[in-house]
Chain A
């Protein structure tokens, strides 16, 4: 069974702070890693993708990948209340999703 694990949260951060979301995966052969944002009752929306070790930045978002540790993370800088959502980690063509981490950004 190929597992993708995330802390379900909720993770609460004040507005303007950095939110750090973490994900581990079991399949060492995985090559592609994705972060999706899902608002309640809505479909997942792709935020970031990362394929090689290191950091990838896009605006306020930074994805970090460490294949040796089988670990991928998402940092959200200058968090806004509109960032409040569930963040899903997905691995391998997005066929395996984690359960998601609920993020709450408080004004």
Chain B
């Protein structure tokens, strides 16, 4: 079964450094998402992306964050200058269609640790 893949599985970085989290959505999916989950807390929506532009973003997704689809397969989340509070699990997800009954498929996540 096709799946969403994320790399790396674990990233450790120092405060103030830039990080790029990578995702390869399922190949025929058109809608892409990033979520984060701070340890012990809920899954929080960050941003959705369609047709090479952001379609929706949350309050968390401030100027420190950016997303890009640099080629036909990768979808990346960049954090420009990491803070300690950015430490979390970051999940990429994709869906085939925009219709409300099109299921969301999650990747296995990248655990980001900011020291």
Contacts and interface: CB of A to CB of B under 8 A. Distances in A.
A95 B45 contact: yes
B29 to A, nearest CB: 14
Pick from B44, B45, B48, B105 the residue with the most CB of A within 10 Å: B45
Q: Please tell me the size bucket of the interface on A.
A: 20 to 34
Interface string A80-102: 00000000101011111111100
B42 A43 contact: no
Interface residues of B, number: 20
Interface string B75-114: 0000000000000010101000000110111111100000
Interface of A: 31-32, 34, 38, 41-46, 49, 51, 88, 90, 92-100
Given A43-B108, A92-B100, A94-B93, 13 more contacts: A32-B101, A34-B104, A41-B89, A42-B109, A44-B91, A45-B106, A49-B101, A49-B103, A88-B42, A88-B43, A97-B45, A99-B42, A100-B42
